[in-house]
Amino acid sequence: MSFILGLILLCAGASTFALDYQCVLIPGNLKQIDAGAGQVWGVNDAGQIFTVVNDTLQQVPGQLIHVSVGPAGIWGVNSANTVFRFQNNRWLAVTASLKQVDAGGNQYLGGVDAQNNIWCLMQNCTVSKSSIVKFNTIDGSLKYYSCGPYGCWGVNSANNVFYREFVTPDSCQGVKWQPVAGSLSMLEVGPDGSVFGVNSAGVIFKRIGVYDKAPYGTAWYRVDECALVKHVTFDAGFLWALSQNGDIYKCAEQN
């Protein structure tokens, strides 16, 4: 059964819209976006990197296809799947090859490689600032992986959703996968444990009932919109959404 969370009008040409969320259109265009630790970063189709400052895109030197920001720092991967850490205002390559990374865990890093193998970097490695790091393998196969305070979530090539149990900063591999009902093409976990995702039709969903004693929640709420969405992320009370043509929306939930 689908539960209606609220109507978000991501209509072409609309700059503001509201029911359960009040949203504004941010100038610019991105293909991927990530929010965490009070920051928002993204990349566009040309591989240019941006951070959002006062709702304005500011370009950062470098070329990436994916970027992530969170308690583990700022990380990214380029078109050759080389992994970089943003350190001292420059990108430093580390010894890894991934297509997607996520810095949202408690100072540990997760990610997947070009073959959909799953990897993680423990907290002691992310805080060391060394370019020589040892990633740990995680059983299974995913195309997208994201972590938060209560553990990690992922989706596989068939858009099945999974939750990884017993993930900790010192044991980022966790113990086992818990299947979660639903079908998503990507998802992101917020710093408060909120889980938002997008399905293959471009519809946004939010997982409800997520907290420390029920880390994989109870149900999905649907967020209706009149435009298709390709990417979402959440931090500091704001839901960020990219329409399929790359328009950027910043949304605040209405009480």
Q: How far apart (Å, rounded) are the C-alpha atoms in residues 149 and 175?
A: 16
Place of tokens 């078109």: 79
Q: Which pLDDT score, from 0 to 100, does residue 222 have?
A: 84
Q: Read off the pLDDT band of 255 (50, 70, 90).
A: low
What are the φ/ψ torsions at residue 124 (nearest 5 degrees)?
-65, -25
Cα-based distances in Å from 124 to 166, 171, 232? 18, 11, 29
pTM for the full model?
Answer: 0.91
CA 178, CA 153: separation in Å to the nearest integer?
9
Cα dihedral across residues 8, 9, 13, 14: positive or negative: negative
Give the range of the structural domain holding residue 166, as residue numbers without chain letter: 3-253
Domain count across the chain: 1
Tokens of 241: 């959404």
Calculate the CA dihedral of residues 108, 112, 117, 120 and round it to 10 degrees: -10
Mean pLDDT of 175-191: 96
Residue 227 banded pLDDT, cuts 50, 70, 90: low
How many C-beta atoms lie closer than 10 Å to residue 12's C-beta?
9
| 109-133: average pLDDT | 94
Higher pLDDT, 131 or 15: 131
**Do residues 186 and 197 lie in contact, with contact meaning Cβ atoms separated by under 8 Å?**
yes
Q: Which helix (H) or strand (E) holds 93?
A: strand 90-97
In the numeric block, which tokens belong to residue 74? 């700022």
The pLDDT value recorded for residue 1 is: 31
What pLDDT, on a 0 to 100 scale, did the predictor assign at position 10? Answer: 45
| pLDDT at residue 225, as a whole number | 66
Distances (CA, A) of 195 to 1, 15, 138, 253, 254: 18, 25, 21, 14, 18
User: Tokens representing 6?
Assistant: 């609220």
Per-residue pLDDT, averaged over 115-121, amounts to: 98
Q: Mean of the pLDDT values across residues 116-136?
A: 93
CATH number at residue 79: 2.130.10.30
**Average pLDDT over every residue of 229-248:** 95
**pLDDT for residue 213:** 92
* d(C-alpha 32, C-alpha 241), whole Å: 9
